[in-house]
Amino acid sequence: EVQLVESGGGLVQPGGSLRLSCAASGFTFRNNWMNWVRQAPGKGLEWVANINKDGTATYYVDSVKGRFTISRDNARDSLYLHMNSLRVEDTAVYYCAKDEDWANDYWGQGTLVTVSS
């Protein structure tokens, strides 16, 4: 059974940093691109970043470029999102999602990041 379990969310002040983790199991992690998608309270889904199978290519939504870094450790079946210079508008539930056939076929339960003073 495919499982994605996010962790690392919490309350952080504007300008602060946070690292999210996503532990994957039930599939061969190194064979899939992976995505981070977020959802602000009461709002829609927003794609944030993705990473290719071996971690050599990464892509970001414009609003997080230069502040967020996506990475992966295939030996640990883990995906990460390093978030710096956090802003109030980054407040959201962050989901990791497995990419298969150009779609996100499995999602984690999400981890809440709250940026507030």
Partner 1 sequence: QSALTQPASVSGSPGQSITISCTGTSSDVGGYNHVSWYQQHPGKAPKLMIYEVSNRPSGVSNRFSGSKSGNTASLTISGLQAEDEADYYCSSYTGTNTPWVFGGGTKLTVL
Which residues make up the interface to partner 1 (CB under 8 A)?
35, 37, 44-47, 50, 59-62, 95, 100-110
Please state, as a whole number, how many other Cβ atoms lie within 10 Å of the Cβ of residue 20: 23
CA 40 to each of CA 13, 20, 61, 86: distance values in angstroms, whole numbers, following the listed order = 17, 16, 15, 14
Minimum separation from the CB atom of position 41 to partner 1 (A):
12
d(CA 107, CA 95): 7
d(CA 58, CA 91): 22
Based on CB atoms, which residue is closest to partner 1, 5 or 71? Answer: 5
* DSSP structure class, residue 30: G
Minimum separation from the CB atom of position 75 to partner 1 (A):
26
Based on CB atoms, which residue is closest to partner 1, 43 or 75? Answer: 43
Based on CB atoms, which residue is closest to partner 1, 16 or 58? Answer: 58
Minimum separation from the CB atom of position 5 to partner 1 (A):
11
